[in-house]
C-alpha cells in the first residue's frame, strides 16, 4: 500500500478553511440568540405590529423571544367600563407569541395613566379595592398560565422618591401597592410579578423605589422583579448610574429587567424630563434636526452607546432577566410623538424599513 503525503501548505489551508467555516456556523444570527444564555430579548408591539407585514413579522419572530403589548393591555383599552372588555388584540398577541414560541410579558395591571374612566372616578377605598380586584381577576385570569411575567404596578413613584398622588393612593393609601401584588399572585401564582418605572437611575427616585419595594416585601406580598425603563439618551444616564441602580435593585433579592429600552437621539425640550406621558412640547425645527436621515456621526454615537450599555448588561447577566426594546423599528417608536409630536427619531436597532442599523451590529460585536 502506497501512502500519499499531503503538502504541508495544503494541510494548513484546509485547517484554516474548516476553522473559518466552524466560526461562521457558530456566529449568532440574531440578538436573542447572542444572549440566549444570559437574558431574554423582548419587544413591545402595538396593533400595527401585531398585524405586521410579512417582513416585519419575520423580524419579530427571528430577533425576539418575549413580547409585550405596548398599549392594548392597559386598562383604558382592555377594560373601558365595568362590564366591558376588549380582548381582541391581546388575544392576537398571545396567539402570535404561541405561533413563534415566544413568551409574553403582561403590561400593565395598575397604572394611573391610560386608566379606565370608571376607575379614575372612584373616591371610596372599599370601592377601589373591589375595582382593582375585579380588574386583576378578569385580565390576569384570562391569560392565567400563559404569561411569563406581569407589570403589576407601573410608575407609582415620583422623581423625588415620594409616592405618586394617584387615585389609588388617594383612596387606599400606600396599602394599594401590596394589595395589588397579593391579588395578582392569587390569580397568577406562577408568573413573575414586577414593579416598573422610568428614571430609575436617579438617586432620590431609586431610594424611594427601594423603600416602597421593602414595604411590599414586609407585607408578605410576592414581588419578583423591578423593571427599569430604559428611555435614555445618548449622554445620560451615565453607565455608572445604570450599573449602581442594577446592583441596588438586585440587592433587594429580586430580578432586574431593562424595560422600554430606546435611546433618544434628538434634543430634549426645555422643562421636559422622564417619561411621564402627560408632558408635551411644541414642535420646532431645532428640536427635529434629522428629518432627512440620521447623520453618520450621530449613528456612530448611537451604536457606541448601545454597545456600551449591552456590555454592561452582559456584565450583570446574573442579575438581569430580560431586556425589552420599546418598539420594533424607528418608524414604530413612540419617541416620534413624545414629548414632541411629529418628530423623526431613530431610537431603536432597526430602521424604518426593518433593516439592521449600525447600533444592531455594534451590539452583535461586543466582547463576551
pLDDT, one tens digit per residue, over 28-46 is: 999 999 999 999 999 999 9
In the prediction, which pLDDT does 7 show? 56
- Give residue-wise pLDDT tens across range 77-114: 999 999 999 999 999 999 999 999 999 999 999 999 99
In the prediction, which pLDDT does 127 show? 98
In the prediction, which pLDDT does 268 show? 82
261/231 Cα distance (integer angstroms): 6
Residue 330 grid coordinates: 424607528
Q: Is the pLDDT of residue 155 over 60?
A: yes
Q: Where are the domains of the chain?
A: 39-265+299-364
CB 291 within 8 A of CB 12: no
What interhelical angle do 176-187 and 203-218 show, nearest 10? Answer: 60
> What percentage of the chain reaches a pLDDT higher than 90?
86
Beta-carbon-side half-sphere exposure of residue 19 (alpha carbons within 13 Å): 6
pTM confidence score = 0.90
CATH code reported for the domain at 39-265+299-364: 3.20.20.80
Residue 260 annotated among the catalytic residues of the structure: yes
SS3 91: helix
198/347 Cα distance (integer angstroms): 16
- In the block, cell 422643562 appears at 271
pLDDT band, very low/low/confident/very high, at 305 (cuts 50, 70, 90):
very high
Residue 278 grid coordinates: 402627560
Cα–Cα–Cα angle for 278, 344, 89, nearest 5°? 60
Cα–Cα–Cα angle for 143, 146, 149, nearest 5°? 95
In the prediction, which pLDDT does 271 show? 52
102/86 Cα distance (integer angstroms): 23
Catalytic residue among 260, 276, 296, 308: 260
Residues 6+ apart with CB under 8 A from 210: 248, 249, 252
CB atoms closer than 10 angstroms to residue 62: 13
Query: What letter does residue 30 receive in the DSSP assignment?
Result: S
In the prediction, which pLDDT does 289 show? 93
pLDDT band, very low/low/confident/very high, at 273 (cuts 50, 70, 90):
low
Q: Using the CB atoms, write b or e for 63-85: b if 16+ within 10 Å.
A: bbbbbbbbbbbbbbbbbeeeeeb
Characterize the bridge pairing of strands 255-264 and 320-325: parallel
Amino acid at each position: 500500500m502506497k501512502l500519499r503525503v499531503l503538502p504541508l501548505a495544503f494541510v494548513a489551508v484546509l485547517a484554516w478553511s474548516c476553522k473559518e467555516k466552524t466560526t461562521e456556523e457558530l456566529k449568532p444570527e440574531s440578538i436573542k440568540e447572542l444572549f440566549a444564555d444570559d437574558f431574554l430579548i423582548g419587544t413591545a408591539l402595538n396593533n400595527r405590529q401585531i398585524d405586521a407585514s410579512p417582513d416585519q413579522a419575520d423580524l419579530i419572530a427571528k430577533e425576539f423571544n418575549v413580547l409585550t403589548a405596548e398599549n392594548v393591555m392597559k386598562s383604558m383599552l382592555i377594560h373601558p367600563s365595568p362590564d366591558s372588555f376588549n380582548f381582541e388584540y391581546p388575544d392576537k398577541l398571545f396567539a402570535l407569541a404561541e405561533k413563534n414560541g415566544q413568551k409574553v410579558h403582561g403590561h400593565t395591571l395598575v397604572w394611573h395613566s391610560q386608566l379606565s374612566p370608571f376607575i379614575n372616578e372612584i373616591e371610596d377605598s372599599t370601592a377601589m379595592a373591589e375595582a382593582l380586584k375585579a380588574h386583576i381577576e378578569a385580565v390576569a385570569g384570562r391569560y392565567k398560565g400563559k404569561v411569563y411575567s406581569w407589570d403589576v404596578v407601573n410608575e407609582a413613584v415620583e422623581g423625588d422618591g415620594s409616592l405618586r398622588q394617584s387615585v389609588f393612593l388617594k383612596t387606599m393609601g400606600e396599602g394599594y401597592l401590596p394589595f395589588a401584588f397579593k391579588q395578582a399572585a392569587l390569580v397568577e401564582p406562577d408568573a413573575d410579578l414586577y414593579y416598573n418605572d422610568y428614571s430609575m437611575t436617579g438617586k432620590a427616585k431609586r431610594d424611594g423605589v427601594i423603600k416602597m419595594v421593602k414595604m411590599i416585601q414586609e407585607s408578605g406580598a410576592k414581588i419578583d422583579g423591578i423593571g427599569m425603563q430604559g428611555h435614555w439618551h445618548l449622554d445620560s444616564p451615565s453607565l455608572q448610574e445604570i450599573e449602581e441602580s442594577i446592583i441596588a435593585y438586585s440587592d433587594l433579592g429580586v430580578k432586574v429587567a431593562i424595560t422600554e429600552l430606546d435611546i433618544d437621539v434628538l434634543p430634549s425640550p426645555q422643562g421636559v424630563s422622564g417619561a411621564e406621558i402627560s408632558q408635551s412640547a411644541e414642535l420646532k425645527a431645532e428640536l427635529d434636526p434629522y428629518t432627512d436621515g440620521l447623520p453618520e456621526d450621530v449613528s456612530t454615537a448611537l451604536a457606541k452607546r448601545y454597545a456600551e450599555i449591552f456590555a454592561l448588561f452582559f456584565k450583570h447577566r446574573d442579575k438581569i432577566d430580560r431586556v425589552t426594546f420599546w418598539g420594533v423599528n424607528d418608524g414604530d417608536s413612540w419617541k416620534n410623538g413624545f414629548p414632541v409630536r411629529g418628530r423623526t427619531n431613530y431610537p431603536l436597532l432597526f430602521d424604518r424599513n426593518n433593516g439592521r442599523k449600525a447600533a444592531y451590529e455594534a451590539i452583535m460585536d461586543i466582547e463576551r
